[in-house]
Amino acid sequence: MPVGTLGAVKGIGPAELERAGAEILLANLYHLALRPGVDTIAELGGLHAFCGWRGPLLTDSGGFQVMSLARLRRLDDDGVTFRSHVDGAELRFTPAGVVEMQERLGVDIAMALDECPPWPVERAEAEAAAARTGRWAARARAASRGEGSALFGIVQGGVFPDLRERAAREVVGLDFDGYAIGGVSVGEPAADRRAVVERTAPLLPAGKPRYLMGVGTPPDLLHAVGCGIDLFDCVLPSRNARHGLLFTRQGPLRIKNAAFRRDPRPVDAGCDCACCGRVSRAFLHHLLRSGELTGAVLATAHNLRYYLDFMAAVRQAIASGRLADVEREVTLRYADRDLTEEAAAGSGSRPPAAVNPR
């Protein structure tokens, strides 16, 4: 699922997303509630009409902001009070209120409010966050009217297997429409992240969608697919594109590097996106090095197309029994490569902000 924080992926309109092959878009409830506000969007016909997206929409619950905006929020057993990073206005999220807001937006998939603990996290803090998330899940389930929006519960528990097992048992017992694994890809080592997925995914019902939140490198996606995960979101494709790190069938490409200054080839000869079908590596290198907005737009169009094509290939490989072949190829191209935002920003862009409201 491409991440459109404010209802749009930066630089890519809804028609371009459709042409790239996107079928579902993720938006951010916290940011939309701040501006333009849930009331405004509802008055304008709901989020689909507001942003022009014709396919399914998923909104997150604000749980990530509980972690990423820790210095701007106050947490209690009934919910979380944010102090807007834009203008300092107060915004209150409760389990029932979050469900109600998402239903008013008219989204297809709503997420229950959760507490996403940071990394590193002590066991006591992870246990408290998982317990609070479980209590909030029960309140969210009771508040859901079950009309129009599917409601997903979220499993927390840090890297502690027994906490994950307990949390999964509690959330599954509430009979949500789907289930998510949260609290990963927040800075923990890859081995710990994969262990959480391996232990938690089998605890979630196979007959309902299983969603891994915020995980996005090609090797991690394949690993999670092998564990039974169905849905993913991550800002990695679009954010890295803006910094000049591109994903290709041959591996990652840092297009700002001097080696591409006179390279006439497309970014990826096997891709027919708006970028690869028209412009050269040299031109994209020039645009991004110059800070030209068009460079970020073209790079984003390519990275999103790569990811959507990649997931389509994974689905085909599952159907044909060739998933192991895809895993070998992706491991060869991407294993042990640094694909973080910091690595992308190292090609001449500004470093990421200290507070990332996502």
Strand order in the sheet with 73-76: 73-76, 79-83, 90-93
Q: Cα-flanking dihedrals φ and ψ of residue 135, to 5°?
A: -65, -40
pLDDT recorded at residue 343: 73
What span, in angstroms and rounded, lies between the C-alpha atoms of 170 and 334?
Answer: 36
The torsion angle over the Cα atoms of residues 341, 344, 346 and 347, rounded to 10 degrees, is: -160
Q: Are 155 and 164 in contact, with CB atoms under 8 Å apart? A: yes
Q: Is 233 a known active-site residue?
A: yes
Strands 150-155 vs 73-76: parallel, antiparallel or unpaired: unpaired
pLDDT recorded at residue 347: 54
- Kindly name the residue from 60, 114, 268, 309 that is annotated as catalytic: 60
Residue of 228, 33, 200 lying closest to 113 (CA atoms): 33
Q: Are 208 and 155 in contact, with CB atoms under 8 Å apart? A: no
Q: What are the structural domain ranges in the chain?
A: 14-234, 239-345
From first to last of its 358 residues, what are the pLDDT tens digits of the chain?
A: 999 999 999 999 999 999 999 999 999 999 999 999 999 999 999 999 999 999 999 999 999 999 999 999 999 999 999 999 999 999 999 999 999 999 999 999 999 999 999 999 999 999 999 999 999 999 999 999 988 899 999 999 999 999 999 999 999 999 999 999 999 999 999 999 999 999 999 999 999 999 999 999 999 999 999 999 999 999 999 999 999 999 999 999 999 999 999 999 999 999 999 999 999 999 999 999 999 999 999 999 999 999 999 999 999 999 999 999 999 999 999 988 889 766 777 754 443 333 333 4
Q: Is 60 a known active-site residue?
A: yes
Residue of 249, 254, 253, 303 lying closest to 275 (CA atoms): 303
**pLDDT (tens digit per residue) in 307-343:** 999 999 999 999 999 999 999 999 999 988 889 766 7
What residues form DSSP beta bridges with 76? Answer: 79
DSSP track, 114-171: -----SS--HHHHHHHHHHHHHHHHHHHHH---SS-EEEEEE--TT-HHHHHHHHHHH
- Kindly name the residue from 114, 220, 233, 268 that is annotated as catalytic: 233
N-term to C-term CA, the chain: 15
What span, in angstroms and rounded, lies between the C-alpha atoms of 85 and 126?
Answer: 26
pLDDT recorded at residue 148: 87
Q: Which residue has the tokens 């979050």?
A: 98
* CATH T-level fold of 14-234: TIM Barrel (3.20.20)
What residues form DSSP beta bridges with 150? Answer: 109
Crossing angle of helices 281-290/293-320, nearest 10°? 130
Tell me if the bond preceding 36 is cis, omega within 30° of 0. yes
pLDDT recorded at residue 340: 78
